[in-house]
Chain A
Amino acid sequence: MRIERDIIYIILAFIVLMVVVPWTAGQLSDQIFFNWPFFFEVAIGGLLSGVMYSLIALGFVLIFKASGVFNFSQGAIVLFAALTLVGLHGLGLPMWLAIVATMGVMFLLAVSIERLVLSKLVNQEPIILFMATIGIAYFLDGFGQTLWGSEVKVLNLGISEAPGFYFDGLILINDFDLFAAGIAAVMVVGLAIFFQYTRIGRALRAVADDHQAALSVGIPLKHIWIIVWTVAGLVGLVAGIMWGSKMGVQFALSLIALKALPVLILGGFTSVPGAIIGGLIIGAGEKLAEVFLAPMIGGGIEEWFAYMLALAFLVFRPQGLFGEKIIERV
């Protein structure tokens, strides 16, 4: 019943976003060149860049689900992971070894965050934990750049950035974006399997459902938190590799986290599929609006459109598309 309604919501949202808005915009303004291939090109480009937002939003969702912490430092983790990877690679390690070493660093980071910050703030209000993660974000931004320097670094994966033509040369798609989408898909499937079929995954779901009940059946909360922050760090590493090779490893990576926030509230804080669908909607909506709507109202609307879109969604569904229904009792 609920799922059916959700699906209807999503389909409606897609129709509005992808068809009605750009079509009316195309009809209304004369200077815009509107044809379907171009429209689909923009939409697919948007969907693919939305996948990149989802990569970052995933890290948020994992931590929020397992510990109820609104983790603002995910962007800083992405930057830190990418900086460490490039830095280690620059020291002469081969790429695969650098990736493994960075994974180790992410694990150490998770342990120290749990030991030094979270365990000291047990039972505090959510806003205090949120502030603590902002503190962590500042620290990591400074720490990463102190260690590895702040100049823009190149991360080359050997994938061509050149656009390829698909569908008889009608639609132009960036190969790299396709690759990133593939990686994201693999990662989501991997996470889903991890959550559904492994012992640790089951423990994680139990903790997400109810901390106290999980504790009482003997699930060690501390270890769970370390695992979850490590997984978020690994997701951050993947996001860092993707974003880093797209736009260079630099401080701006840390700010992309802000772009992941509307994805997050659109999809719901507690849902992994929500992060993906939210990313797709935001990515496509943002690009379509920028191309078809922006010329009418002055351009450059990309920076706030995602937030307005998410806000409009929230008014109808305050918990996001897939978030758990908020039930309040007095």
Chain B
Amino acid sequence: MIYREAGVYKSTYREDHAILTIPQDRWAMIGIFAIAFLLIPAVGSEYWLGAIMLPFLILALAALGLNILTGYAGQLSLGTGGFMATGAFSAYKLATSFPDMHILLVILGAGLITAAVGILFGIPSLRIKGFYLAVATLASQFFLIWMFDKFGWFTNYSASGVISAPPMTIFGDVFVTGPEASLVAKYMFTLSVVVLLALVAKNLVRSNIGREWMAVRDMDIAAEIIGIPMLNTKLKAFAVSSFFCGVAGALWAFLYTGSVEPLAFDVNRSFQVLFMIIIGGLGSIMGAFLGAAFIVLLPILLNNLPSLLGLNIKTDMISHIEYMIFGALIVFFLIVEPHGLARLWSLLKEKLRLWPFPH
């Protein structure tokens, strides 16, 4: 009764094209932004900002990228970790080769380089489909990680193979990377980038190109017959998706861990991001965030559960039991709601439209 489209009159095309057409939605979004931009930096503890919010935001960005490729364009990929590593290492090379470069330009450049790499590894998708493609993308995962590990040029011939991100500033004197940067600055910077890119993604998928992707996902032959250029569309999906993953990788290395290492982007990272989009909901921007929140928070919760309950279990036992619960929960979620958390959210909205008079 309160929350519904009826009674919302649109008199301009601008209003008609708005992302959120229902006023309550707009208020809710403003509320979320207020909490994210004002409340969390003000009250969030160091642990919350550094160990939970930062990885959550960055992984949500990577999930967004994979969701564009897998959820919207239908190309199953297990190469996310490799693309994130590409972003991290190209950001590092850019930052060290051009020390005066602005950090936004570094991150943008890292994204563009990753997009180019993504196009290269996306070419086989024209012939290979489905699970065959998923396994084929593992090639990019292993090859890229091996390349960064093996060739000294990428790490500027550092002896240990682990390199730290150079300190960089924004607005002249606010450090966002390096040891001097405050967590609040890091958080605000990451949040801004993620929000901006999420907006870009949202608008991309409801535009022409997003519709082309969805047509290819639903049936690529039919899409080709109605005149959608296959090569073009698939490669665009790979490029945009890798751009997002590249930016996420650069943020991960520069702002979250502060060091660039190939190990952080191994095949488990790829699976982690895939989990996020499937738990969150394939083909949903919102789902990427929900899934990332679930996958980031669940292990932390499971880790702290025994001590909260006062149980005393050996640590290696805890990690095994964690595995068990994690696996069981994934199966449980798939059985209860195969279309992910985003689907639950839209069901809730349907209910809300009728509330409080269901008839």
Chain A residues with a Cβ under 8 A of chain B: 70, 116-117, 120-121, 124-128, 130-132, 134-143, 145-146, 150, 258, 261-262, 264-265, 269, 298-301, 303-304, 307-308, 310-311, 314-315, 318-320, 326, 328-330
Contact = CB atoms under 8 A, between A and B. Distances in A.
A211 B157 CA distance: 57
A306 B329 CA distance: 33
B204 interface: no
Contact of A265 (B135, B222, B275): B135
Contact of B129 (A124, A135, A146, A326): A326
A143 B331 CA distance: 15
Given A70-B131, A307-B143, A310-B139, A142 B323 contact: yes
Given A303-B142, A330-B225, A135 B330 contact: yes
B33 interface: no
Interface of B: 76, 124, 127-132, 135-136, 138-139, 142-143, 146, 149-151, 219, 221-222, 225, 267, 271, 274-275, 278, 282, 316-317, 320-331, 334-335, 338
A304 B325 CA distance: 31
A303 B317 CA distance: 30
Contact of A319 (B132, B142, B282, B321): B132
A140 B132 CA distance: 25
A142 B320 contact: yes
A135 B124 contact: no
A318 B127 contact: yes
A142 B138 contact: no
B52 to A, nearest CB: 22
Contact of B221 (A121, A299, A330): A330
A141 B135 contact: no
Contacts of A304: 139, 142-143, 146
Contact of A142 (B129, B275, B322): B322
Given A150-B316, A269-B131, A311-B124, A120 B326 contact: no
Contact of A308 (B139, B149, B328): B139
A135 B331 contact: yes
Contacts of B267: 258
Contacts of A300: 146, 149-150
A105 B130 CA distance: 33
7 contacts: A121-B338, A126-B130, A139-B328, A141-B320, A145-B320, A310-B139, A315-B124
Contacts of A121: 334-335, 338
B143 A308 contact: yes
A122 B275 CA distance: 20
B70 to A, nearest CB: 8
A141 B139 contact: no
Nearest to A326: B129
Nearest to A316: B127
Nearest to B219: A330
Contacts of B146: 300-301, 303-304
A146 B320 contact: yes
Contacts of B138: 258, 261-262, 307
A112 B22 CA distance: 47
B139 A138 contact: no
Given A134-B271, A142-B327, A311-B139, 14 more contacts: A124-B334, A132-B330, A135-B331, A136-B331, A139-B323, A139-B324, A139-B331, A142-B326, A145-B320, A265-B131, A300-B149, A304-B139, A307-B143, A311-B136
B149 to A, nearest CB: 8
B72 to A, nearest CB: 14
**5 nearest interchain CB pairs?**
A142-B323, A138-B327, A139-B327, A135-B330, A307-B139
B324 A307 contact: no
Nearest to A329: B221
Given A134-B330, A304-B146, A142 B132 contact: no
Contacts of A130: 131
A160 B346 CA distance: 62
B89 to A, nearest CB: 16
A301 B322 CA distance: 33
Which of A70, A303, A314 is most buried by chain B, counting CB atoms within 10 A of its CB? A314
A117 to B, nearest CB: 6
A138 B326 contact: yes
A307 B79 CA distance: 12
B68 to A, nearest CB: 16
Contact of A315 (B127, B221, B323, B335): B127
Nearest to A255: B267
A230 B331 CA distance: 20
Contacts of A131: 274-275, 278, 330, 334
Contacts of A299: 150
A265 B334 contact: no
Contacts of B124: 311, 314-315
Contacts of B326: 138-139, 142
Contacts of A303: 142, 146
